Amino acid sequence: MKKIGVVTTGGDAPGTNAAIRAIVRTAHSMNLETVGFQRGWEGVMSNDSKPLTPRSVGGILQLGGTILHTSRSREFETKKGIRKAAKTLSQTGVDGLVVIGGDGSFRGACDLSKESNVLIVGVPATIDNDVYGTDETIGFDTAVNTAVAEIDKIRDTAISHERTFIVEVMGRNRGFLALTAGLTSGAEIIIVPEIKTKNETIIQTMRENQRKGKKSSIVVKAEGAGDARALAREIETRLGSEVRISVLGYAQRGGSPTARSRLLASLFGNKAVDLLLKGQDNKIVGLQNGQISTLSMEKSCHTTKPLDLNLLLLANVLAT
Q: Which is nearer to its own copies, 21 or 283 (CB)?
A: 21
Residue 91 or 160 having the CB closest to its own copies: 160
Asked if residue 174 binds its own copies (CB under 8 A), the reply is no
Q: What is each CA distance from 167 to 40, 80, 146, 232, in whole angstroms?
A: 31, 42, 13, 11
- Closest CB to its own copies among residues 84, 253: 253
Residue 127 phi/psi, 5-degree rounding, is: -75, -10
Tell which one of 58, 172, 237, 309 touches its own copies (CB under 8 A).
58
DSSP for 164-187?
A: EEEEEES-SS--HHHHHHHHHTT-
230 binds its own copies (CB under 8 A): no
Ranges within 72-131 binding its own copies (CB under 8 A): none
User: Following DSSP, what letter does each residue of 27-61 receive, concatenated?
Assistant: HHHTT-EEEEESTTHHHHHTT-EEEE-TTTTTT-T
Q: Give the footprint of its own copies on residues 129-168 (CB under 8 A).
A: 135, 141, 144-146, 148, 150-157, 159-162, 165
Is 128 an active-site residue? Answer: yes
Partners of 292 in beta bridges: 287
Within 188-217, which residues bind its own copies (CB under 8 A)? 212-214
Is residue 221 near its own copies by the rule CB under 8 A?
no
Quote the least distance from Cβ 202 to its own copies, whole Å: 19
- Structural contact between residues 221 and 166, judged by C-beta atoms closer than 8 angstroms: yes
Q: Minimal CA–CA distance to 197: which of 168, 222, 169?
A: 222
Residue 314 interacting with its own copies (CB under 8 A):
yes
Contacts of its own copies in 273-292 (CB under 8 A): 287-291
305 binding its own copies? (CB under 8 A): no
- The answer to whether residues 38 and 129 touch, using CB atoms and an 8 Å cutoff, is no
Beta bridge partners of 36: 6, 50
Does the protein bind its own copies through residue 50 (CB under 8 A)?
A: no
Minimum CB distance to its own copies smaller for 117 or for 201:
201
Phi, psi dihedrals of residue 51, rounded to the nearest 5°: -70, 140
Closer of 159 and 195 to its own copies (Cβ): 159
Q: Which stretch binds its own copies (CB under 8 A): 90-98, 117-125, 231-239, 254-262?
A: 254-262
- Catalytic-role residue among 95, 128, 130, 141: 128
Contact region with its own copies (CB under 8 A), list: 107-115, 196-204, 245-253, 297-305: 245-253
Which amino acid, 228? A
| Stretch touching its own copies by CB under 8 A, among 24-32, 117-125, 192-200, 298-306 | 24-32
Q: How far apart are CA 3 and CA 28, in angstroms?
A: 10
Asked if 212 and 188 count as a contact pair (C-beta separation under 8 A), the reply is no
- State the catalytic residues: 128
